[in-house]
């Protein structure tokens, strides 16, 4: 453990470095720390912090920068969060909301990148419980019907159904209303059981539609795989920490492209609530050793269905990014639950 004066100086170093992207020297610290200490005393404390691994030097100059260990202590116990004001929350809400559930997920990743100026990502796992939130039937031609299926996590899938029967638009609407009134939010297996009990009470054409839709839903959800949406990758070109290191940028874009490795990291937040922060090597991904990933889970009707987050440099304004990720997760949860 380090004493209170050391924590105050570490906090000042982290905040100054995040702000200026320049190593912090004892002279600057004496002005901004608020501690009435001599330059020699400040240098001694800095030496102790460096020996303990909380700060490090990148040049032979007297300036120091935070290490990943220093960032971790800062995030865990020294940070002062800058909560979003009502106008900012409303802006986020407007960017996320949509009548199209699949668009909501895309909007959330875009909002994260726009508000943080980093890369925003939304992870949605395969739906193991196979719940259907909403279904709709649309007539394409005399024998082709489009089935639009919305799963409980907001994912939308479409499939064309070929029918040898003439089904009117009113019957399609009746089938849509019947399904959504009686089966919304249920698992496929439960829907099939209830449908078999009600089957004799349903018109022939509608009966076939509902059976086909249930089978389609079962097939789609069974074959779904984990995936994520990412937005704002180009923001990383504008970050000083990365812009001068093309190899680092190339590695990040390859990571975003292959997706498998990043999916494992995002899945680690799938069953836990609240904010999780991976700083540098904590992610276990070599490509992210100079990055931080701030994540949070999101829910539908009180059940965690995925996670979202921001990928940026370790030198990020955690006090600003954390509430953006937190509020976006809450707004996404609310928007999906209202679909």
Residue pLDDT, tens place only, 289-309: 999 999 999 988 788 888 999
Q: Name the 3-class secondary structure at 231.
A: strand
- pLDDT at 327 > cutoff 80: yes
Res 66: pLDDT: 96
CATH number at residue 62: 1.10.10.10
Residue pair 241/22 in contact by the 8 Å Cβ criterion: no
Res 109: pLDDT: 95
Res 224: pLDDT: 59
149 and 297 in a single domain? The answer is no
- pLDDT at 311 > cutoff 90: yes
Res 126: pLDDT: 60
Over residues 194-209, the mean pLDDT reads 75
**What are the tens digits of pLDDT across the range 129-170?**
567 888 888 888 877 888 888 877 667 777 888 877 788 888
Q: Name the 3-class secondary structure at 264.
A: helix
100 and 169 in a single domain? The answer is no
Res 130: pLDDT: 62
Res 13: pLDDT: 96
203 and 113 in a single domain? The answer is no
Start-to-end Cα distance in the chain: 49
**By mean pLDDT, which of 34-48, 182-196, 208-222 is the weakest?**
208-222
- Domain span at 53: 4-78
- Choose one of 223, 252, 273: the last residue of a domain: 223
- pLDDT at 191 > cutoff 90: no
CATH number at residue 234: 3.30.450.40
- Choose one of 181, 197, 223: the last residue of a domain: 223
Strand pairing class (186-187; 144-151): unpaired
234 and 327 in a single domain? The answer is yes
265 and 165 in a single domain? The answer is no
205 and 253 in a single domain? The answer is no
Res 6: pLDDT: 94
Q: Taking the CB of residue 274, how many other CB atoms lie within 10 A of it?
A: 10
Residue pair 312/239 in contact by the 8 Å Cβ criterion: yes
Strand pairing class (131-139; 186-187): antiparallel
State how far the alpha carbon of 11 is from the alpha carbons of 26, 47, 143, 223, 232, in Å: 14, 15, 68, 49, 29
Res 69: pLDDT: 96
- Buried b / exposed e along 10-37 (16+ C-beta atoms within 10 A): bbbbbbbbbeeeebbbbebbbeebeeeb
Res 83: pLDDT: 94
162 and 208 in a single domain? The answer is yes
- pLDDT at 128 > cutoff 60: no
Over residues 235-249, the mean pLDDT reads 85
Give the number of domains in the chain. Answer: 3
Most confident of 167-171, 188-192, 243-247, 283-287: 283-287
Res 225: pLDDT: 61
Q: Name the 3-class secondary structure at 299.
A: strand
Q: Where are the beta strands (DSSP E) in 73-139?
A: 119-124, 131-139
Res 131: pLDDT: 76
230 and 113 in a single domain? The answer is yes
- pLDDT at 288 > cutoff 80: yes
Residues 102 and 302: their CA atoms lie apart, in Å, by 19
Res 73: pLDDT: 97
- pLDDT at 338 > cutoff 70: yes
- Choose one of 183, 208, 223: the last residue of a domain: 223
Crossing angle (nearest 10°) for helices 204-223 and 188-198 = 170
Res 222: pLDDT: 67
CATH number at residue 185: 3.30.390.60
Place of tokens 């389609």: 216
67 and 157 in a single domain? The answer is no
Percent of the chain with pLDDT over 70: 91
**What are the tens digits of pLDDT across the range 74-126?**
999 999 999 999 999 999 999 999 877 678 889 999 999 999 999 999 987 66
**What are the tens digits of pLDDT across the range 252-279?**
988 888 777 888 888 776 667 789 999 9
231 and 322 in a single domain? The answer is yes
Res 81: pLDDT: 95
Mean residue pLDDT across the chain: 86
The encoded tokens of residue 16 equal 């100054």
121 and 231 in a single domain? The answer is yes
112 and 259 in a single domain? The answer is yes
Angle at 130 between CA 293 and CA 339, to 5 degrees: 70
Of the pLDDT bands very low, low, confident and very high (cuts 50, 70, 90), residue 226 is low
């Amino acid at each position: 453990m380090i004493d209170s004066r050391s924590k105050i100086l570490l906090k000042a170093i982290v905040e100054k470095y995040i702000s200026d992207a320049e190593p912090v020297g004892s002279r600057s610290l004496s002005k901004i720390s608020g501690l009435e200490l001599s330059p020699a005393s400040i240098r001694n404390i800095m030496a102790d912090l460096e020996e303990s691994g909380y700060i490090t030097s990148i040049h032979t100059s007297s300036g120091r920068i935070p290490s990943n260990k220093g960032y971790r202590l800062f995030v865990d116990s020294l940070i002062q969060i800058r909560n979003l004001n009502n106008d900012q929350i409303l802006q986020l809400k407007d960017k996320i909301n949509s009548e199209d559930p699949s668009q909501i997920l895309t909007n959330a990743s875009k909002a994260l990148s726009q508000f943080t100026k980093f890369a925003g990502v939304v992870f949605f796992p395969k739906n193991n419980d196979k719940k259907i939130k909403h279904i709709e039937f649309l007539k394409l031609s005399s024998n082709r019907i489009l089935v639009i299926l919305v799963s409980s996590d907001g994912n939308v899938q479409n499939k064309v159904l070929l029918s040898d029967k003439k089904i009117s638009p009113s019957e399609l609407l009746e089938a849509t209303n019947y399904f959504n009134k009686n089966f919304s939010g249920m698992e496929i297996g439960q829907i099939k059981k209830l449908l078999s009990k009600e089957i004799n009470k349903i018109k022939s054409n509608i009966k076939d539609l509902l059976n086909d839709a249930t089978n389609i839903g079962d097939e789609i959800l069974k074959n779904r795989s984990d995936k994520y949406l990412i937005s704002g990758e180009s923001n990383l070109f504008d970050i000083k920490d990365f812009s001068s290191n093309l190899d680092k940028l190339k590695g990040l874009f390859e990571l975003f492209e292959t997706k498998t490795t990043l999916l494992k990291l995002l899945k680690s937040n799938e069953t836990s609530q609240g904010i999780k922060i991976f700083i540098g090597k904590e992610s276990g991904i070599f490509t992210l050793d100079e990055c931080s990933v701030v994540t949070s889970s999101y829910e539908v009707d009180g059940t965690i269905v995925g996670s979202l987050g921001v990928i940026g440099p370790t030198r990020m304004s955690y006090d600003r990014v954390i509430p953006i990720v937190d509020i976006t997760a809450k707004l996404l949860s609310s928007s999906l639950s209202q679909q």
